[in-house]
Amino acid sequence: MNPVVVVHGGGASSISKDRKERVRQGIIRAAIAGYNILKEGGSAVDAVEGAVTVLEDDPEFNAGCGSVLNVNGEVEMDASIMNGKDLSSGAVSAVQCIANPIRLARLVMEKTPHCFLTDQGAAKFAAAMGIPTVPGEQLVTERNLKHLEKEKHEKCAQKPDQQKNLGTVGAVALDCKGNMAYATSTGGIVNKMAGRVGDTPCVGSGGYADNDIGAISTTGHGESILKVNLARLTLFHVEQGKTLEEAADLSLGYMKSKVKGLGGVILVNKAGDWAVKWTSASMPWAAAKDGKVHAGIDLGEASITDLP
């Protein structure tokens, strides 16, 4: 089985020219990191965790360092991960002062009998597992401080602009043993109420992985994704015999028509096929397979380069 990894950097309304190249390089770096793990014999779970960790550490993306701020000016993060081999999954929500929530989500999956820990329970578990805390301000960027101020002036928290609030990061992978996995991580939406949880940590919405069907990670307006169970809905269409592209178009189209929600998905199946689709203005993505990296940000543009 030829390994594959696909990553996304979140749906976006538009990415400024000065950021575009940094975002492109960041997403490619994450795909290469995940692919290298697979090439060295690592599992799909290892690969998606590794790729998402790279994006959490990159301040250009809305996850980990670079997460957007809630109404109180704080970072509250959500993440989930799933192993397609046995459907084991782990998720955390409303976590603070942790650099890589995706690592904590994996520990929930592997070290507890549960699937999901939140807030203080997640914090206590992180401490018990020896995950170091970082000062909250270490995760805050100047760009997101300005972003929050702008949002507070323009809107009240009860009416989030679906066009703007689409940032998440995620990865899907197929390893050489035929196992699949997904991982998704986010800081949520700007100016959200404290304690707000979106789709990202919810298995079936923020992502899903089943070796018999495929693996998917989603991005977009979290409340809309939750309402339609976007991840599982897309894989349902795959089960019904649709191609990955057709399945993605159907589910994203349904979300747009039913609840006016915009977003995007990345998918891989057991044959090693992959797809990226979105209805937002843009979605940074990269895919690594057979020694090549495919990458893009806007509709209709993609580059292919040989892996270093």
Tell me the binding residues for substrate: 196-199, 219-222
**215 DSSP β-pair partners:** 209, 268
Instruction: Give residue 270's identity as a one-letter amino acid code.
Output: K
Q: How far is CA 195 from CA 70, 164, 259, in A?
A: 9, 20, 23
Q: How far is CA 20 from CA 26, 56, 75, 166, 283, in A?
A: 10, 17, 24, 16, 11
The answer to whether residues 63 and 112 touch, using CB atoms and an 8 Å cutoff, is: no
The DSSP element (H or E) to which 139 belongs, if any, is none
First to last CA, the chain: 21
Return the closest-CA partner of residue 265 out of 215, 228, 227: 215
Mapping DSSP to helix (H, G, I), strand (E, B) and coil, where does residue 74 land? coil
Q: How far is CA 114 from CA 7, 33, 106, 122, 156, in A?
A: 26, 29, 11, 11, 36
Which one of the listed residues 53, 112, 118, 168 is annotated catalytic? 168
- Our answer to whether residue 168 is catalytic in this structure is yes
**289 DSSP β-pair partners:** 4, 292
| DSSP conformation letters of 142-209 | HHHHHHHHHHHHH--TTS--TTT----EEEEEE-TTS-EEEEEEE---TTPPTT---STTSBTTTEEE
Helix ranges, 40-100 (H): 44-56
Instruction: State the catalytic residues.
Output: 168
